[in-house]
Amino acid sequence: MAFLRHRLEQLEAREDAAHAEGSLEQARRALQIASSPAEDAAASARAQEIARAALVLADRQLERRLAEERLLETQRRVAANRERAKAQRLALEALMRERASLARGEQR
C-alpha cells in the first residue's frame, strides 16, 4: 500500500495533475478505505485494487494529454514548414519567370 500512496503523491505532484483529478480522487478515496481499520481484509484488498486501477487510469490520462500536446506542437511545426516551403516555391517560381523573361529579352 505504501507503493500506491507514493505513486498517488507522484501523480498529484505533476503540474498537469488537474487533468486526471477524477481518477486521482478515486484513488485517494480507495486508499483511505483500504487503510481504514474498520474494513475487513477482503474489502481492504478490493479498495487497493480500485486504487491501483485508478492510478493506472490517471497515469494513462496524463500520458495521453502529453502525447496530444506533442502531436499538436508537431502539427503546428509541419504547418509552419509547409507555409515556408510554399513561400520559397513562390519566390523560386517568380525568379524563374524573371530569368526566362530576361533570357527572352537578351535573345531579341
Amino acid type, 64: R
Q: What residues contact 66, with CB distance under 8 A and at least 6 apart?
A: 16
Cell digits of residue 99 = 530569368
The CA angle 80-82-83, to the nearest 5 degrees, is: 65
d(CA 49, CA 42): 11
The model's pTM is 0.74
pLDDT grade for 37, boundaries at 50, 70 and 90: confident
Grid coordinates standing for 39? 474494513
Domain map of the chain by residue range? Answer: 2-107
What is the spatial distance between Cα 45 and Cα 96, in angstroms, rounded to a whole number?
75
With a cut of 90, say whether residue 107 has pLDDT above it: no
The mean predicted confidence, pLDDT, of the chain is 94
Residue 108 has pLDDT above 80, yes or no: no
DSSP state of 59: H
Higher pLDDT, 107 or 52: 52
